[in-house]
Amino acid sequence: MTKEKERKMFVGIVWNCAAELKFILTAILFLFSLITILQFMPIRFSTNLATTCISVPSFSSSTIIDSVSVSISAINASTAVQQPPALVKDELLENGVIKRAFNPFGSAAYNFILMSAYRGGINTFTVMGLASKPLHVYGKPSYLCEWIPNTNDSNMQKHINVTGTKILPDWGYGRVYTVLVVNCTFPIPVGDGVNGGKLLIHATTNGGGDSKFNITDTFLALTESEQDFTNFISTFSKPPKYDFLYCGSSLYGNLSPQRVREWLAFHVRLFGVKSHFVIHDAGGVHEGLMAVLKPWIEKGYVTLQDIRDQERFDGYYHNQFLIVNDCLHKYRFQAKWMFFFDVDEFIFVLKRVLLSLWLIRYRIIHSSPLNKCQCPTSSV
C-alpha cells in the first residue's frame, strides 16, 4: 500500500517535472533556432553582436574597417589624427584567380631603443640600446652615423656620414629585444672645443619586417657641447682616476642585505681606495639593501644606477648585456682595470700580494687565470 503510494507520488513528481522540462526544452530549442537564423541575417546584426561578444568572426571587410576606426578612437583621440590605413581588398584577377590581400596593423617591436652614446676617441663613438630581435636574426638592418657640427660657417667642417658597425653582444639570448652596440668611427676627427656638435643615427630596416618597405628611423644619439668635448679630451689624456672599477650586472629579486654587505666590504678592501663600484638596480635594491649601499655611496665608493625602466623591454636577463656595455663605455677612460662579475662571485688572490701587483704580472705573463669563486648560493 505504502509502496504503491510512493510509486504514485514518484510518478506524479516525474510527470510534474516533465511538464517543466518540456517547457525548458522548448525554450532552448527556440533560442538555438533563433541563433541559427541570426547567422543568416545581414551583416548589421553581426556588428551589433560584436559589441557584446568578444570574438565574432567578421566576414566582410566593411565590418573590419568599422571596428578598426572604433578601436582607434577609443584608444585616444590624438591617435585618431593618424588616419587608419586604407584596407587593401581581395582582388579578382583577369585570369579568374583571387589575389588575397594582407593588411598589416601596428608594429610589435621598436626598431631601436636608445640607452646611451659615448665618445670613445677623437673620431669614434659607441651607441647602445635594444633592437627588435627578429629584425636582426632574420633581416639585415643597417646603421648610418652622421656627425653634424654646431656651426653655420660653411668653410668649417661639414656633415659627415659613415656606416656604423653593429655588434650583437648577447649571443642570441635576447627575446623580443636583443642588445645592439653600434660603433661609429669616422675617417677624420669630429667635434671640437669651439662649436660642439651632434651625432645622428639613421637606423634602416632594409626590408626586414616588411620587404615592401625600407624604413629608416633617424634619432639623435648624442649632443655634445664645447664643454663636453673639452671634458672628454681631459679625461682621455689624464691617467685614469680609479685603479679598479666594478661594473655590476642588473640586480633583481630578493637579495640578502647581509650578503651584499659582506661582498662589498670584502671587495672594497681587496680593490683598495682607488676603486669604484657601479651597481645597477633592476628592482633588486629594496629598502634593506639601500641601507647597506648608502654609507658606501656617501663615501664615494658606490654609484647606484636605477635601470628599472629597461624591464619594459623583454630581453635577456634584465638586459644585463646592455647594462654592462653601457658601464664599459661610460667609464672606460676612468679606470686602469674594469671587472665584470656578479654579486654571488668573489675575486681572491691566492698569495698575500697586492692585487695591482698581481695584475701587472698578469699583464706581462698573460697566463695565470684569475681566480674566481662561484659561491654555492644562487640568489646572492
Ligand X SMILES: *[C@@H]1O[C@H](CO)[C@@H](O)[C@H](O)[C@H]1NC(C)=O
Angle at the Cα of 16 (from 10 to 19), degrees rounded to 5? 140
First-last CA distance in the chain:
82
With CB under 6 A as the contact rule, the residue among 161, 234, 254, 258 that binds ligand X is 161
3-state secondary structure of 20: helix
Q: Which among 120, 182, 177, 128 has a CA at the least distance from the CA of 325?
A: 128
- By CB under 6 A, how many residues form the interface with ligand X? 22
Task: Identify the DSSP state of 78.
Answer: T
CB of 20 to ligand X, least distance (A): 50
Q: 36, 52, 95, 152: which one contacts ligand X (CB under 6 A)?
A: 152
Nearest to 204 by CA among 217, 220, 219: 217
The Cα–Cα gap between 277 and 267 comes to 9
132 binding ligand X? (CB under 6 A): no
Contacts of 13 (CB under 8 A, 6+ apart): none
- List the interface residues with ligand X, window 57-96 (CB under 6 A): 76, 78
In the complex, least distance from residue 119 CB atom to ligand X, rounded to whole angstroms? 7
Instruction: Say whether residue 256 binds ligand X (CB under 6 A).
Output: no
Q: Is 144 one of the binding residues for ligand X (CB under 6 A)?
A: yes
Residue 197's φ and ψ, nearest 5 degrees, are 180, -175
Amino acid at 272: G
Q: Which of residues 198-217 bind ligand X (CB under 6 A)?
A: 202, 204, 206-207, 214, 216
**What value does the CA radius of gyration of the chain take, rounded to a whole number of Å?**
33
Nearest distance in Å: CB 318, ligand X: 24
- Figure out which of the listed residues 63, 185, 230, 334 binds ligand X, where binding follows CB under 6 A: 185
Torsion angles phi and psi, residue 321, rounded to 5: -70, -30
Nearest distance in Å: CB 323, ligand X? 17
Min CB(166)–ligand X separation in Å: 11
Using Cβ positions, the residue closest to ligand X within the complex turns out to be 120
Q: Which residues bind ligand X (CB under 6 A)?
A: 76, 78, 120-121, 124-126, 144, 146, 150-152, 159, 161, 183, 185, 202, 204, 206-207, 214, 216
